[in-house]
């Protein structure tokens, strides 16, 4: 399902009206009065801000015939009061237009969090002829987007709540093999809400009521992807970290204009991070799927470990036990814990499968009916083992219990089971079983 992200581009001429309007506005008026709310101190402030320069940079400044956006830099000085938020400044002094990105600051330090090296000055008090400046930038058929290390990230910077340093760190982790990722284009998912189970439909309808239009637009694709890939036992028990971040069955999903909480992959409870940025007209629109790379510490720790488990051939899912309790976890909705049994050797697993199949056969004889369940033995290792573990609350080997999630930890405690949460201890026991 991985396809290259699609970013829509426009002709350079289509950006000219917006550029000319902004330049003309600043040439006619340089000083602006602001009344704005300080969201940290919760007070109203007054300021006067002066426009000093307007620059254009990026692909449009290099003469590209088609551009994803128009990048502008507005340098200002504060004549009175405190510095208003950048968005407050750009909205009043330059207005807004589709696909026009206006940053505030200097070429060296600005709200794009990058040093700007290809800028062309459009207007300043000492260079007031903005029309001449615009005309001096000639179309160049050979010009294109300037390659940046962060270009391997499938979403645009503006679609994420990450500083440039954070994005560069993600690129480094990718290059080192600690993380790997793929892109699923929204058009390839084709949501079919009629095929969803009732609790998935209820989950979707309940959540999107509280979301903005652009964020809600990505949810059908997100739910469809999860529905196809994961066997969510109970959608009503899906756990939310906040209203835009939820988890279940070994995955974490974040929506809106999200950060990238990749450190969840350092935990045994997560094997996949789904970044579902809100839909935009420009794109790209889809799902960014992040997983552990082969150099990730957990992948290296469990790389050569291969225990066995029982597969229910009726539904094609691993056989699991379910622990229930009259109470529930104080902070979680889930009213049960899923328990995965792993076996030290193939012989142990076959013995367990034979016992389960004999029990089913006995039930069939007693009830004069037939059941579809039948159990077989499967060996699992590496990333597949970690995926299987992450989709359980508890992993058990005889009397040894490993709490994978906080729900699993709570159930171990209320049932009086000694347990560990240490991945290295889990590796030690698994290795000792081989």
pLDDT-based confidence at 1, cuts 50/70/90? very low
pLDDT, mean over the chain: 91
Can you tell me the mean pLDDT for 129-150?
Answer: 88
Measured from the Cβ of residue 174, the count of other Cβ atoms closer than 10 Å reads 18
Can you tell me the mean pLDDT for 81-85?
Answer: 95
How many Å from the N-terminal Cα to the C-terminal Cα in the chain? 35
Give the whole-angstrom CA distance, residue 168 versus residue 151: 10
Can you tell me the mean pLDDT for 99-120?
Answer: 91
Give the whole-angstrom CA distance, residue 139 versus residue 243: 45
Nearest CA-CA partner of 156 in 261, 312, 38, 282: 282
Give the whole-angstrom CA distance, residue 120 versus residue 71: 11
Determine the pLDDT at residue 320.
Answer: 93
Residues in Cβ contact with 2 at an 8 Å cutoff, skipping those fewer than 6 apart? 182, 183, 184, 289
Nearest CA-CA partner of 404 in 393, 417, 415, 419: 393
Determine the pLDDT at residue 240.
Answer: 85
Three-class secondary structure assignment of the chain: CCCCCCCCCEEHHHHHHHHHHHHHHHHHCCEEEEEEEECCCCEEEEEEEEEEEEEEECCCCCCCCEECCEEEEEEEEEEECCCCCHHHHHHHHCCCCCCEEEEEECCCCECCCCCCCCCEEEEECCECCHHHHHHCCCCCCCCCCCCCHHHHCCCCHHHCCCCHHHHHHHHHHHHCCCEEEEEEEHHHCCCCHHHCCHHHHHHHHHHHCCCCHHHHHHHHHHHHHHHHHCCCCCHHHCEEEECCEEEECCEEEEEECCCCCHHHHHCCCCCEEEEEECCCCCCCCEEEEEEECCCCHHHHHCCCCCCEEEEECCCCEECEEEEECCCCCCCCCCCEEEEEECECCHHHHHHHHHHHHHHHHHHHHHHCCCCCCCEEEEECCHHHHHHHHHCCCEEEECCEEEECCHHHHHHHHHCCCCEECCHHHHHHHHHHHC
pLDDT top residue among 254 and 239: 254
Can you tell me the mean pLDDT for 49-58?
Answer: 96
pTM: 0.79
pLDDT-based confidence at 32, cuts 50/70/90? very high
Q: Is the pLDDT of residue 6 over 70?
A: no
Can you tell me the mean pLDDT for 408-420?
Answer: 92
Q: Is the pLDDT of residue 286 over 80?
A: yes
Measured from the Cβ of residue 322, the count of other Cβ atoms closer than 10 Å reads 11
Long-range CB contacts for residues 195-201, cutoff 8 Å, separation at least 24:
195/227, 196/223, 196/224, 196/227, 197/227, 197/235, 199/234, 199/235, 199/236, 200/227, 200/232, 200/235
pLDDT-based confidence at 283, cuts 50/70/90? confident
Write down all domains in the chain, each with its CATH number in brackets.
10-135 (3.30.460), 149-293 (no CATH), 308-433 (no CATH)
* Maximal C-alpha separation, the chain: 96
Q: How many residues does the chain have?
A: 434
Determine the pLDDT at residue 7.
Answer: 67
């Amino acid at each position: 399902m991985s396809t290259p992200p699609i970013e829509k581009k426009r002709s350079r001429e289509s950006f000219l009206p917006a550029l000319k309007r902004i330049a003309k506005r600043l040439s006619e008026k340089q000083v602006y009065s602001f009344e704005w709310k300080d969201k940290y101190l919760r007070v109203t402030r007054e300021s006067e801000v002066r426009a000093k320069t307007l620059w254009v940079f990026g692909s449009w400044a290099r003469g590209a015939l088609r551009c994803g956006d128009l990048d502008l830099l507005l340098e200002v000085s504060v004549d009175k009061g405190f510095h208003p938020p950048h968005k407050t400044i750009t909205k009043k002094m330059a207005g807004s237009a589709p696909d026009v990105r206006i940053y505030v600051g200097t070429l060296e330090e600005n709200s794009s969090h990058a040093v700007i090296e290809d800028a062309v000055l459009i207007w300043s008090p000492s260079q007031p002829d903005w029309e001449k400046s615009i005309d001096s930038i000639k179309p160049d058929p050979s010009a294109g987007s300037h390659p940046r290390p962060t270009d391997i990230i499938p979403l645009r910077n503006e679609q994420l709540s990450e500083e440039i340093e954070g994005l560069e760190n993600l690129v480094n982790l990718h290059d080192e093999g600690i993380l790997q990722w793929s892109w699923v284009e929204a058009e390839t998912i084709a949501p079919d809400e009629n095929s969803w189970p009732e609790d998935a439909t209820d989950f979707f309808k309940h959540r999107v009521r509280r979301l903005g239009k652009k964020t809600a637009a990505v949810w059908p694709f997100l739910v469809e992807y999860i529905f196809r890939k994961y066997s969510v036992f109970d959608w009503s028990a899906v756990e939310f970290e906040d209203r835009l971040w939820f988890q279940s069955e070994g995955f974490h999903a974040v929506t809106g204009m999200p950060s990238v909480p990749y450190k969840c992959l350092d935990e045994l409870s997560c094997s996949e991070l789904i970044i579902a940025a809100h839909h935009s007209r420009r794109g790209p629109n889809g799902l960014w799927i992040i997983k552990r790379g082969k150099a990730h510490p957990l992948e290296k720790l469990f790389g050569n470990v291969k225990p066995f488990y029982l597969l229910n051939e009726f539904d094609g899912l691993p056989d699991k036990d379910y622990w229930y309790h009259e109470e529930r976890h104080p902070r979680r909705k889930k009213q049960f814990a899923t328990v995965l049994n792993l076996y030290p050797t193939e012989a142990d697993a076959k013995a367990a499968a034979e016992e389960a199949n004999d029990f089913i056969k006995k039930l069939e004889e007693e009830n004069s009916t037939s059941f579809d369940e039948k159990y077989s033995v499967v060996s699992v290792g590496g990333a597949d083992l970690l995926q299987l573990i992450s989709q359980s609350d508890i992993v058990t080997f005889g009397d040894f219990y490993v709490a994978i999630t906080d729900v699993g930890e709570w159930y171990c405690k209320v049932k009086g089971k000694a347990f560990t949460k240490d991945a290295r201890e889990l590796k030690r026991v698994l290795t000792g079983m081989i």
